[in-house]
Structure 1
Amino acid sequence: MILNQAGTRRFRAYTSKHLDELLRRAGLDDEQRLRVRAVATVLPFRTNAYVVDELIDWSAAPDDPIYRLVFPQEDMLPSTDVARLADLLKAEAPNVEIQAEANRVRAQLNPHPAGQKELNVPRIGEEPVPGLQHKYPETVLIFPKQGQTCHAYCTYCFRWAQFVGDADLKFASDDIDQMVSYIRQNPSVTSVLITGGDAMIMGESVIRRYIEPLIGLEQLESIRIGTKALAYWPQRFVTDPDADATLELFEQVVDAGKNLAFMAHFTHPRELESPLVESAVKRILGSGATIRTQAPLIRSINDDPAIWSGMWRRQHTMGMIPYYMFVERDTGPQDYFAVPLARAHEIFREAYSKVSGLCRTVRGPSMSATPGKVCVDGVTEIAGQRVFVLHLIQARDPALVGQPFFAEYDPSARWLTDLRPAFADRFPFEIAAENVLVPA
């Protein structure tokens, strides 16, 4: 075991080159390991010693939820694709041939859901600004070039395309001056979300390069940081060499009069159990930052109301704010992980009914779809027709926010595109899109 001066383990990553060795711990035979390795040529794999040694119950693998959270499964992809890739691996085919087949499979997995690469491109004049997304008028997302990885990858991640080494699928930039210039030229922007990947994979000196210029922008009310570091490497805020300097940077943001919000991803209650997590949360809150929690609803990992109500209560007692339950996006292994919308609402409603009002800051189940964040409010009957009741929490067109609308009930629907309008020919956001005037 490698120790630093604080007596804790240094960060050690495990990647695809370690995969076969780790799969043996799960009791998989030669053929099973080969098929999992085939999936890992398409979907990225990365974990670390903390997740492997502290979070996974290897006696329950491969059915353990944390194991399934970070390790590829052979049925995440169509069986014909897995078989073809497994044959190439078994034959020790040239890497260029394996990658060509992997790229073919990736292209079928909708690597950029909600038009996130095509529809959210900010521009200065006619020139696009790389590494930014501007989906809503008040919010800009920043993708730092140095933050395009994570301490460990979630198998359900909708940004999996960022991690497969294909430059055509990645969006990121380190041109901080250009990013700041864009924000300054758009005074409607009041909130910035630094995301990736995971922003907290960056060391203090690097993330400071992105945050300090934002502090001086008077228009900004909040700076958000999207991260799963609290679950996958809480040492980042406790015992890492630059942990103290990082917290001092957070204090600097708060002292400048801006809200610093951690958008923390917790997918399963076990991620909250370590004393390191409790220490990390206390230190972050002590800097004046807030922590809001969110995660998608994932089949075979957290599709149980008791899991969600337990997480929300624990997060609340730790000082965090339950924020979102998301619906698994229409990308990557959605067929493996997705929960039908009707069942998703049942899980949310039951979990929501088991917590106090102080936990009911959480919203969901929410789809981060092309028109915005669409929330499933329930299922009801109107004029003899069973329907979904929905509304937009956020929208590309702010006029649509909060307006209820209806979709025909479909027990198998898993995403917005599976739904059909009820009592109308089109959804409100479809009408709004058609009414947008395109300049000549």
Structure 2
Amino acid sequence: MLSRIDLRDRDLTARELLEVVPRADLDVSHAVEVVTPIIADVRERGADALREYAARFDGVELDQIRVPADRIEAALESQDPAVLDAIREAITRVRAFHEATVPPPVEIEVAPGARLAQRWVPVGRVGLYVPGGLAVYPSSVVMNVVAAQAAGVESIAVATPPQRECGGEPHPTILAACALLGVDEVYAAGGAQAIAMLAYGAEDLCDPVDIITGPGNVYVAAAKRAVNGVVGIDAEAGPTEIAIIADDTADPEFVAADLLSQAEHDPLAGSVLITHDEHLAERVEEALGRRADDTKHLARTKEALTGVQSAVILTSSIDQSIQVADAYGAEHLEIHTRDADEVASRIRSAGAVFIGPYSPVPLGDYMAGSNHVLPTGGTARFASGLNTTSFLKAIQYIRYDQAALAEIGHKVIALANAEDLPAHGQAVQARLEG
């Protein structure tokens, strides 16, 4: 089912590794051309445009784009108590972790009378996008909202597609998650039109935000690219992916189950096994084929597993497996090896690392406490997953007294003159003369 990439006895450069690892074929640039007129239309016509796109793309006639607060609260009554209990537990764990990761302020004296400080200040307002395509994602509500709340953001708007089977409202499980988190500003808007509404606002409906976060399809990613700079964005999320580093100690049933768990997300989802044990690879492939035949979402799962983005990568050693994993830069990376903690400590590129046989990716998707909004498409080589700093700005503060400035003033003047910016130096000289 999975294709094979055999890297044994091949000494590849970092550039060659980037070219050989499997990737989904995703053309965000083309999607930008599609969404640009939609964004312009929403910016120009606001709510009227949103209603027209809801009818065209979602098949619903919207009476109200903003969901009334009482409908958000009422969604709690329709939910399975076990689901509400699970959401509450996820909120508790995600909040505990994110509050603990808020960076502290820093203040130092670099010389007598020369003080510097840095404070982390939350943005005023954020827009959180929650997808609603092939599945329902209350977990994405938790991940985005809790991270923003832990950072201290005071104004939070959630946009999520209207559902025809729900009378044009968002899915009630999404609304219930918002209710549990105390979010009462929810819009039945999806796709590029929702991103445009959040970025530019819509008169008498929605105020513009400072940052937009949250996953979505290629058109949501394209819309976020288009408005980046007008507002901040977290990332251009692509199809989900998992890579697993495994050796002869790995349980092939665990590995197969985890590869399958990501493949059911999307036909473009990537499932990659990296191992220097060919016998393990064969056992995983057998288990994967058997499990895939019994899975609910068989069509999209098989399409994902047989796509160019999924593969078994055979390596010559655990060291080469680590090199391949770093080149791949997986959104989710599982470690199923002996000395898993040591292997994990050597990883430089991954959105999140799941260590050992009892830390599967679905744990992080829902309940671990970590955030599941993670970099995709290899961007983990330079980007981080959603966290509290996604909603914080670092502001630096500088305070020198007269003596501290006098001590280094001549050096500032020397550098200013070297850069042919004499007025810079004169601003300091005026103080030295004074």
- Give the TM-score, by structure 1 length: 0.28
- Higher RCO (CA-CA < 8 Å; seq separation 6+): 2
Q: Which has the higher helix share?
A: 2
Q: Give the number of the structure whose alpha-carbon radius of gyration is greater.
A: 2
State the TM-score, normalizing by the size of structure 2. 0.28
